[in-house]
Structure 1
Amino acid sequence: MKTITLTYPLTIQESLIPVQRQVLAIGQFDGLHLGHASVIRRALDLGQSLGLPVSVLTFHPHPKDVMGKGDYEGYLTPLSDKEAILASMGIDYMYVGEFTSEFSKVSPAEFVSGMLKPLQVDTAVVGFDFRFGHMGQGTAEALAPLSGGAIRVETVQPFLLDGEKVGSSGIRAALKAGDAEKAARWLGRPYRVAGKVVGGDKRGRTIGFPTANVEPSGHYVTPVKGVYAVRFGLGDEVLEGVMNVGVKPTFTDGIVKPTYETHLFDFDRSIYGEEVWIELIRYIRPERKFSGIDELVAQIAKDAEQARSILRS
């Protein structure tokens, strides 16, 4: 897969990449959940039947981040994660439209003429709730007329699971409620945070539970503070452990930024500086302040045993 950054309006050079017509799935696609996957699978099916390359047009930064409004609190899939998932799905090109306050003022007609038509889009595939252009004035129904009939449009209906419409906002809400299992069902995979192992206060080692302190590599949605059973990716290894997301209230006061600290089972190597990922399998309990070290150690031992049991099931 080739990743191409686009700025509006496309320059002549940009508009020549690629030089052939294509099927294009358009959307923010944060999370690349089952609903998004249904849109992209439809684009892939069309591309195969038409003999055309299949591309995805997404936008970065997130429009809500740029406009400073709405319920935006981070990404479910930062750009590098989105890129890896799309490549694994068989997408040929990933276009990243640079979203700026100026771009937010582009009209629906200008978006079609200044971005979609230069990309030589044969068929656009969008979700049922797709909106584009200034103030979201453009709809899926408007795309074909605005292109003068040059672009065919396929609209994919909502993806329902357990009677609910799968969406990014629902996944965010599940993570904030500690429902890692629902988030995983809707994503089609466990929620994952990638990052680098950094130095911490090394207190865990002194109490018999050494931890890997992970600094996220992107602006992820932070799940509710608490303890989780997790899987931990280190190179080709997939390890298991128990993780605390929080501010360590037993030892600190006034810290706002949560940390991701994982005790890995049956593991005793230094991995400082390593790039890793963490998958949330199940929420165990909220973070809380303990009366002292002994109470904390006893609770960590219980959490670790519970996490082992969850991960074995």
Structure 2
Amino acid sequence: MKTVMLTYPQTLTSDELHTQPQVLAIGQFDGLHLGHASVILSAVRIARETGVQAAVMTFHPHPKEVMRKGDYEGYLTPLRDKEEILAGLGVNILYVVEFNDEFSKLTPKQFAHDLLLPLQTRTAVVGFDFRFGHQGAGDEQLLRSLGGNDMTVETVPPFLLNGEKVSSSLIRGLLKRGQMDEASQWLGRPYSIRGTVIHGEKRGRTIGFPTANLELLDRYVIPAKGVYAVRVQYGEQMLRGVMNLGVKPTFHESGMKPTFEVHLLDFEGQLYDQELKVELVHYIREERKFASIDALISQIREDALTAARLLS
């Protein structure tokens, strides 16, 4: 899959962009959950049926981050994760449009005529609640009108799971409550984070449970504090582990920034400066303060056994 970064006003010509007739799924797609996947896979299907390339257009940074609206607290799928997932869905090209104050003021007509049509968009595929242009003035009906004879529009209905519409905001809520099984169902995969292993307090090795301390690579949505059963991708290896996300109250009183400490069940060796992708598969328990180091060690041992059982 090819990724093309776009800014507005767009100064590149179609030749420089190497554009071809394409079917284009349009949306923010943060989370790339089952609802988003239904839109994108519809675009891929239409593209295959018509013999053109399948493309996706998304926007970065997140409009809520730029406009400082709502309770935006981070990404479910930062751009790198989004690229990886989209490639697996069969997308040929990803357009990442820089969302800034100037772009937020585009009229619906400018969006369609200055951005979509020059990319040779033959079919635009959007979700049922798609809005575009300044202050969300445009909807799929207006997009269809603006496309005229050059661009058709396909609207994908809401994706329902157990009778409820799958949405990014509800997935964020599930993560904040530690409801990982439900979040995984709605995402279609376990929620994951990426980080680089950094030097920590090195306390884990002294109690028999060495940990990899992660510095996150992006501004992720942070799930509930607690202990998780995790799968860890390290290069080509997929390893089992148990992760503590929290402030380590047994050792610290208050005011500490949450840390991500992963104890790997199937690995021995140094991981400093290495990148790990961590899938949060199951929430085991909440973080709590222990009366003694021995009590903590006993609980960590039990957590490791629980993680091994859940991941077997």
TM-score, normalization by structure 1: 0.96
Say if 2:36 is the partner of 1:36. Answer: yes
SS of the equivalent of 1:241 reads: strand
Counterpart of 2:270 in structure 1 is: 270
Counterpart of 2:7 in structure 1 is: 7
Which shows bigger deviation, 12-21 or 60-69?
A: 12-21
1:114-142 Cα offsets, whole Å, 9 max, x none, are 11111111000001111111111110111
Counterpart of 2:151 in structure 1 is: 151
Q: Are the equivalent residues in 2 in contact too, given 1:196–1:274 (CA < 8 A)?
A: yes
SS of the equivalent of 1:290 reads: coil
SS of the equivalent of 2:254 reads: coil
Counterpart of 2:292 in structure 1 is: 292
Say if 2:227 is the partner of 1:227. Answer: yes
- Root-mean-square deviation (CA), in Å? 1.3
Equivalences, count: 312
Distance 2:16 2:140 in 1: 25
Letter paired with 1:91: V
Letter paired with 2:89: M
Distance 1:15 1:254 in 2: 57
Counterpart of 1:243 in structure 2 is: 243
Distance 1:60 1:225, change over 3 A: same
Residue 22 (structure 1) shift: 0.9
Residue 263 (structure 1) shift: 0.9
Counterpart of 2:122 in structure 1 is: 122
SS of the equivalent of 1:80 reads: helix
Residue 89 (structure 1) shift: 1.6
Q: Are the equivalent residues in 1 in contact too, given 2:27–2:57 (CA < 8 A)?
A: yes
Counterpart of 2:136 in structure 1 is: 136
- Aligned ranges 1:192-211 → 2 under 5 Å: 192-211=192-211
Unaligned runs of 5+ in 2: none
Q: Are the equivalent residues in 2 in contact too, given 1:15–1:119 (CA < 8 A)?
A: no
Which shows bigger deviation, 289-298 or 124-133?
A: 289-298
SS of the equivalent of 2:269 reads: coil
1:269-289 Cα offsets, whole Å, 9 max, x none, are 111111111111110111112
Q: Are the equivalent residues in 2 in contact too, given 1:184–1:190 (CA < 8 A)?
A: yes
Which shows bigger deviation, 65-74 or 92-101?
A: 65-74
Q: Are the equivalent residues in 1 in contact too, given 2:239–2:266 (CA < 8 A)?
A: no
1:174-209 Cα offsets, whole Å, 9 max, x none, are 101101111111111111111111111100110111
Say if 2:69 is the partner of 1:72. Answer: no
Distance 1:78 1:135 in 2: 24
Counterpart of 1:87 in structure 2 is: 87
Distance 1:95 1:53 in 2: 13
Letter paired with 1:100: N
SS of the equivalent of 2:101 reads: coil
Letter paired with 1:46: I
Residue 16 (structure 1) shift: 4.6
Counterpart of 2:111 in structure 1 is: 111
SS of the equivalent of 1:291 reads: coil
Q: Are the equivalent residues in 2 in contact too, given 1:194–1:275 (CA < 8 A)?
A: yes
Letter paired with 2:257: K
